[in-house]
Amino acid sequence: MRIRIIGSCGSGKSTAARQLAAMYGTDYYETDNLVWDRSEEGLRYPIEVRDRMPRDIVLVSHQSECGRGRHLDQ
């Protein structure tokens, strides 16, 4: 199961994602964290890092889902 939450800034997407992840016992990813380096205010990741992170998340989530023995959609 994959759930995508779409909404404007400050609309509660992250809160809803955390609650759903807790309810279903799964991971969640905030897309802001794919752009912003949280080590310093206003600091963006370089474009190479931003391009790589979504692929890394997909790889990890596929491994973790397979590890739990769940079927993945292709």
At 41-65, the pLDDT tens digits run 888 888 888 888 877 776 665 554 4
Q: What are phi and psi of 48, to 5 degrees?
A: -65, -40
Structure token pair of residue 20: 């759903």
Structure tokens at 35: 């752009």
- Does residue 67 register a pLDDT over 50? no
Rounded to 5 degrees, φ, ψ at 50 are -65, -35
Task: Give the confidence band of 16 by pLDDT, cuts at 50, 70, 90.
Answer: very high
Radius of gyration of the chain (CA): 14
Instruction: Give every CB contact of residue 31 below 8 A, 6+ residues apart in sequence.
Output: none
What pLDDT is stored for residue 36 in this prediction? 83
* Distance of alpha carbon 14 from alpha carbon 20, whole angstroms: 10
* Residue of higher predicted confidence among 68 and 7: 7
